[in-house]
Amino acid sequence: MSSGVYVYLTELAWIIPLTGVFLFLEYLRPTSIRPTWRNRAENCVYLVLALPLVFFALSIFNPAYNYIVRVADDGFVARLRMPSQELPRTVLLTLVYALIWDVWHYWIHRWQHASPFLWETHKFHHSDTALNATTQGRQHLLAYLLNLILHAPMLFVLGSLNPPAFVGVLMFRVWGFVNHANLRMSFGPLTSFISGPQWHRIHHSIFPQHRSKNFATFFPFVDKWFGTYYAPGADEYPPTGLLDERPESFSRQATFSPLLVWMGIWGGAMRSAGRAWADVRKEGRERKCNDP
């Protein structure tokens, strides 16, 4: 068995049971909006088909990542003064890692919403009208590619630092399911500190008051720092999906829709540039004719 196939099957070995666990929890305590089985199946099939391409892209970026880590000489974090005892040092480094990661990806996420160009890489994820655990894998391949590119500069700060294995599993495998789960669950007084299903649902809401809120992945207080925090009410579980967007089929959104939009943007820019150049030439000819 090749290493690529092994990595792929290992990832599925995490995803399949986690999906089953969260679908069961969603059955026990759902919000008032239930996803259809077709919705869940589409998300799952898409992820299974997209993962090999994601791993292929990652294999291309890995040499660059390794080079940056060598150049960074273990990164900025390794130069911080830390406790000498192993356990306090590990805990503190893990918290620093998670916070740096969350702040960095907060701004990538916020940029995806602010830029019409980058929004096309993220729109597919937000188009799910019944947010649920399978939505966590509903990411366009262009969004994966964007994150791979923009992850590189963060390595100059983090260097070779990685969280302990169990923390890495919690952050990068489990928490995506937690945030997107269709669960009637509030974290109460912990809402400002740890992201959860209700808090992240606000980010996917179709209501205007929720637009551009709650961008962080793990720590809602990061949104407080940058002015985008929204505290959900006790029974606030809004409908999700896209507002003011033209409806498209799942397959179109998952594949070439962003490219079509980008081609339209490029074509519009070229036409505007052509008209501007034509106006400049016309003005030049008129000036030349008017010269004595």
Residue 151, exposed/middle/buried by CB under 10 A (0-12, 13-18, 19+)? middle
Question: What's residue 122's pLDDT?
Answer: 97
Q: What is the pLDDT of residues 46-95, one digit of tens each?
A: 999 999 999 999 999 999 999 998 888 767 776 777 777 788 888 898 99
Question: What's residue 90's pLDDT?
Answer: 87
Instruction: Kindly report the number of other CB atoms within 10 A of residue 197's CB atom.
Output: 26
Determine if residue 250 is left, alpha or beta; phi over 0 gives left, psi from -120 to 50 gives alpha, anything else beta: alpha
* Domain range list for the chain: 3-183, 256-292
Residue 288 has pLDDT above 70, yes or no: no
Q: 73 or 14: whose pLDDT is higher? A: 14
Q: 288 or 94: whose pLDDT is higher? A: 94
Q: Where residue 160 falls among pLDDT bands split at 50, 70, 90? A: confident
The span from the CA of 54 to the CA of 47, in Å, is 10
Rounded mean pLDDT, 283-289 = 65
Can you give the pTM of this predicted structure? Answer: 0.90
Question: What's residue 280's pLDDT?
Answer: 65
Question: What's residue 147's pLDDT?
Answer: 96
Q: What does each C-alpha distance from 131 to 8, 75, 184, 281 come to in angstroms?
A: 25, 37, 12, 53
Question: What's residue 282's pLDDT?
Answer: 66
Determine if residue 90 is left, alpha or beta; phi over 0 gives left, psi from -120 to 50 gives alpha, anything else beta: alpha
Residue 269 has pLDDT above 80, yes or no: no
The span from the CA of 239 to the CA of 217, in Å, is 20
Question: What's residue 152's pLDDT?
Answer: 92
Question: What's residue 136's pLDDT?
Answer: 97
Q: Residue holding tokens 């029974």?
A: 235
Identify any residues that bridge with 240 across adjacent strands, giving them in sequence order.
Answer: 205
DSSP string, 23-77: HHHHHHSB-S-PPPHHHHHHHHHHHHHHHHHHHHHHHHHHHHHHHHHHHHTTTTG
Question: What's residue 259's pLDDT?
Answer: 92
Q: What is the pLDDT of residues 197-216, one digit of tens each?
A: 999 999 999 999 999 999 99
The span from the CA of 61 to the CA of 68, in Å, is 11
Residue 31 has pLDDT above 90, yes or no: yes
Instruction: Kindly report the number of other CB atoms within 10 A of residue 31's CB atom.
Output: 22
Q: What is the pLDDT of residues 100-144, one digit of tens each?
A: 999 999 999 999 999 999 999 999 999 999 999 999 999 999 999
Question: What's residue 83's pLDDT?
Answer: 77
In the predicted model, what is the mean pLDDT of the chain? Answer: 90
Rounded mean pLDDT, 229-245 = 92
Residue 169 has pLDDT above 90, yes or no: yes
Question: What's residue 285's pLDDT?
Answer: 66
Q: 69 or 229: whose pLDDT is higher? A: 229
